[in-house]
Amino acid sequence: MKRFELLSSFLVITLIISGCSGSKEAKNDEPKAERTYIERYEDAVKAFETKKYYQGLEDFTYVVFNAPGSDIADDAQFYLASSHYEMKEYLVAIDEYQQLLRRWPKSDLYEETRFKIAECYYKQSPGYQRDQQYIFKAISAYQDFIDEYPFSEQRPDAEKRILELRTGLGTKVFEAGELYMILREWNAAIITFQEILDTYYDTSIINDTYLDIATCYSKLQQREEMIAILNKVDNSKLSTKNQLQYKKLMNLSMDWPE
Residue 29: per-residue pLDDT: 57
Asked, for residue 71, whether it belongs to a domain, the answer is yes
Q: Using one digit for the tens of pLDDT, what is the confidence trace for 111-170?
A: 999 999 999 999 998 877 677 899 999 999 999 999 999 999 999 999 999 999 999 999
Instruction: Tell me which of 120, 146, 165 is where a domain ends.
Output: 165
Q: Are residues 53 and 155 in the same domain?
A: yes
Q: Are residues 136 and 217 in the same domain?
A: no
Asked, for residue 20, whether it belongs to a domain, the answer is no
Asked, for residue 178, whether it belongs to a domain, the answer is yes
Total domains in the fold of the chain: 2
Query: Are 234 and 204 spatial neighbours (Cβ–Cβ below 8 Å)?
Result: no
Q: Are residues 52 and 41 in the same domain?
A: yes
Q: What is the mean pLDDT of residues 230-239?
A: 94
Query: Are 53 and 87 spatial neighbours (Cβ–Cβ below 8 Å)?
Result: yes
Q: Are residues 154 and 230 in the same domain?
A: no
Q: Using one digit for the tens of pLDDT, what is the confidence trace for 198-215?
A: 999 999 999 999 999 999
Report residue 104's pLDDT band, with 50, 70 and 90 as the boundaries. Answer: very high
Q: Are residues 214 and 244 in the same domain?
A: yes
Q: Are residues 93 and 134 in the same domain?
A: yes
Amino acid at 190: I
Instruction: Tell me which of 165, 193, 217 is where a domain ends.
Output: 165
- The rounded radius of gyration (Å) of the Cα atoms in the chain is 34
Across the chain, mean pLDDT equals: 89
Q: Are residues 130 and 176 in the same domain?
A: no
Domain that holds residue 82: 37-165
Asked, for residue 24, whether it belongs to a domain, the answer is no
Residue 30: per-residue pLDDT: 58
Measured in whole angstroms, the distance separating CA 61 from the mean position of its chain's CA atoms is: 23
Asked, for residue 115, whether it belongs to a domain, the answer is yes
Residue 127: per-residue pLDDT: 77
Using CA atoms, how far apart are residues 165 and 118, in angstroms rounded to an integer?
12
Residue 54: other Cβ atoms inside 10 A: 11
Asked, for residue 8, whether it belongs to a domain, the answer is no
Looking at the chain, the whole-number percentage of residues with pLDDT higher than 70 is: 87
Q: Are residues 158 and 217 in the same domain?
A: no
Asked, for residue 29, whether it belongs to a domain, the answer is no
Phi, psi (5° rounding) for residue 35?
Answer: -70, 145
Asked, for residue 32, whether it belongs to a domain, the answer is no
Instruction: Tell me which of 146, 165, 184 is where a domain ends.
Output: 165
Residue 192: per-residue pLDDT: 98
Q: Are residues 68 and 131 in the same domain?
A: yes
Using CA atoms, how far apart are residues 164 and 158, in angstroms rounded to an integer?
10
Residue 32: per-residue pLDDT: 63
Q: What is the DSSP letter of 237?
A: G
Residue 129: per-residue pLDDT: 67
Q: Are residues 74 and 147 in the same domain?
A: yes
Q: Are residues 205 and 105 in the same domain?
A: no
Q: Using one digit for the tens of pLDDT, what is the confidence trace for 48-87?
A: 999 999 999 999 999 999 999 999 999 999 999 999 999 9
Looking at the chain, the whole-number percentage of residues with pLDDT higher than 90 is: 81
Residue 16: per-residue pLDDT: 46
Which CATH number belongs to the domain containing residue 131 in this structure?
1.25.40.10
Q: Are residues 194 and 156 in the same domain?
A: no
